Amino acid sequence: MASDGTDALWPDEQRRLQLADLADLAGLSEAEVLELVDCGALTPAEGAPGQWVFGMRSITVARTARRLREDFELDPHGVALLLAFIDRIRGLEDELRDLRARLPR
């Protein structure tokens, strides 16, 4: 069975991706990735504009952004807003799980 290599990436946050690689792995154009950066949905790990590199978590965020855009026909600002809500909900779920773990049984 052939693999295109995208499923073999290990989520090592130390590894960095160039803009073109992130766009390719997420199924977006470079312009779409730049729009997500402009809207605050993606944050480059380092580098100056035009030479940005991204952490591995950005693949998940960019793929989620693509799916949200396609499924709900959202503009980049709408996608960024939904991504922020998703991130906040996950944070609250983590906090709730931690608090529940501290409760006596």
Neighbours of 14 (CB within 10 A): 7
Distance CA 25, CA 6 (A): 7
pLDDT category at 59 given cuts 50, 70, 90 is: very high
Residue 6: inside a domain:
no
Would you say residue 3 has pLDDT above 50?
no
In the chain, how many domains are there? 1
In a domain, 5, yes or no: no
Single-letter amino acid, residue 50: G
**82-95 pLDDT tens trace:** 999 999 999 999 99
Q: Are 80 and 36 in contact (CB under 8 A)?
A: yes
- Contacts for 41 with CB less than 8 Å, ≥ 6 apart: 61, 65, 76, 79, 80, 83, 84
Which parts of the chain are beta strand (E)? 16-18, 53-55
13-25 pLDDT, tens digit per residue, is: 578 999 999 999 9
- Is 52 a member of any domain? yes
Task: Evaluate whether residue 7 is within a structural domain.
Answer: no
Q: Is residue 4 part of a domain?
A: no
**For residue 27, what is the domain's CATH number?**
1.10.1660.10
Residue 29, domain extent: 14-102
Residue 97, domain member (yes or no): yes
- Half-sphere exposure (Cβ direction) of 34: Cα atoms closer than 13 Å: 9
What is residue 13's predicted lDDT score, i.e. its pLDDT?
59
Q: How far apart are CA 75 and CA 2, in angstroms?
A: 35
Is residue 3, in this structure, part of any structural domain at all? no
Three-state DSSP state, 16? strand
Predicted TM-score (pTM) of the model is 0.79
Q: Is residue 1 part of a domain?
A: no
